[in-house]
Amino acid sequence: MSTIMLTAEDGHEFSAYVAGPEDAEMGLVIVQEIFGVNSHMRHASDTFAAAGFRVICPALFDRAERDVELGYTGPDMQKGIELRGKIADDKTMLDIEAAAAELGTDAIGIVGYCWGGTIAWWGATRSETFDVAVGWYGGGIAGTKTETPNCPVQLHFGGQDDHIPQSDIDAISEAQPDVEIFVYDDAGHGFGCEQRPSFEPASYELAQSRTLEFLRENLG
């Protein structure tokens, strides 16, 4: 578990949190929410590392402001939204590609949460690097739902999500009949984050077990 520096194709240097065995056969890019690579994202990365994956979690906000670690209060959320708005989507994907290249494994997946859930979807549709993609409560997926995935995709949503309406989930499902989509009736937005009031342990455990099974099925 350490922090390293990476360089994207356009020369941008950024930090990334790394965890897991260096000789792992399966690698994962874990993609942050709009709160930076904070303690929750390190915890999520460590959880996958403990399951045997080599994990890299890139600091995508470094393009706007370095060393960002936000909490889940209103002001922090507003700052996260502002920072996310300063970074072009194509630049974010350059950082994702650089993180994937650093893994050094033949089998590579991408897992993202919130903003990162959308980026995980783009990892499937805008890249040919990944063998599997999993997105948790990605609010921007509906807006790009007609893009074509290049790998198997699994998506997780909360049935009580006040940011992602059921109509969005239905639209994604209709546009992507081959994508595996799970909705957790009792869960709200961010149900997989142990630091949020919306954390829903039962839904998290089920979604995590499905995620791990899906990753191993497509990477193993």
Number of domains in the chain: 1
Query: Per DSSP, what are the bridge partners of residue 142?
Result: none
Q: In terms of Cα–Cα distance, which of 42, 38, 30, 43 is closest to 72?
A: 38
Four-point Cα dihedral 186, 191, 196, 200, nearest 10: 50
- Per-residue confidence (pLDDT) for residue 11, from 0 to 100: 98
d(CA 212, CA 10): 33
What is the extent of the structural domain holding 190?
A: 2-219
- What three-state secondary structure class fits 19? strand
Please state the pTM of the whole predicted model: 0.98
d(CA 196, CA 78): 16
- Per-residue confidence (pLDDT) for residue 220, from 0 to 100: 85
pLDDT digit of tens for each residue in the chain (220 aa)?
799 999 999 999 999 999 999 999 999 999 999 999 999 999 999 999 999 999 999 999 999 999 999 999 999 999 999 999 999 999 999 999 999 999 988 999 999 999 999 999 999 999 999 999 999 999 999 999 999 999 999 999 999 999 999 999 999 999 999 999 999 999 999 999 999 999 999 999 999 999 999 999 999 8
Domain of residue 58, CATH code: 3.40.50.1820
Secondary structure percentages of the chain, helix, strand, coil, to 5: 40, 20, 40
Position 34, amino acid: I
Please say whether the beta carbons of 83 and 61 come within 8 A.
yes
